[in-house]
Copies of this chain bind each other. A is one copy, B any other.
Amino acid sequence: MNESSLLKALIESLRCLPGVGARTAQRMAFHLLENDRRSGERLAEVMGRAMREIKQCSRCRTLTEHDTCRICANPARQATLLCVVEHPSDVVAVEQATGYRGYYFVLGGRLSPLDGIGPEDIGLDLLEARLDEGEVQELILATNPTVEGEVTAHYISELAAKRNIPASRIAHGVPMGSELEYVDSGTLSHAFEGRRKYS
């Protein structure tokens, strides 16, 4: 061991970041220590707070440090529209790409019986309660176009059907097998506009 053990620990810890291997982690550590300690200290502090304080919105399950997120807390949005997505990052993607002004519901995953992920693990009890409130008049299913995402969308469409709430599925242009988060804005916007009634 020729390096400082704290430096080694920093390099090792940085590898928890997606896409960061040993070499990149080392470059990041030296960069912060040699050139930018203030930013490193600020990042450490913000990251610690974020990990401890950010939780799920009590209404839509997206990430927020408040009880309800900014979107749920905004009474100017259209309460008749509810868009169901898998991840908090999908909310960001839809907000940036489309003119959608309804509310969201974030599953935090998808049904996957083989992995033991059932309806309550993705908050469907909370979603049912939301649908029972009676305000939602269209449920937009924007789960990822993967096999499990489709199965999840289908399952949710039946929860809507039971309550006579029309469900639609975003459709055109989203390539099968891809993740919503990485689709370009134009495609996603088009898919939103071209949504069709779930049948």
**Contacts from A to B (Cβ < 8 Å):** 1-7, 9-10, 13-14, 16-19, 24, 26-34, 36-37, 39-54, 63-66, 69-71, 87-89, 91-92, 95, 108, 181
Contacts and interface: CB of A to CB of B under 8 A. Distances in A.
B41 A44 contact: no
Nearest to A89: B30
Decide if the interface of chain A is mainly helix, strand, loop or mixed: helix
Nearest to A70: B2
Contacts of A95: 2
Given A9-B50, A10-B47, A17-B31, 20 more contacts: A3-B70, A4-B65, A6-B54, A6-B65, A7-B54, A7-B64, A13-B46, A13-B47, A14-B43, A17-B43, A18-B27, A19-B24, A27-B181, A30-B63, A34-B87, A37-B51, A40-B50, A40-B51, A41-B51, A41-B52
A92 B54 contact: no
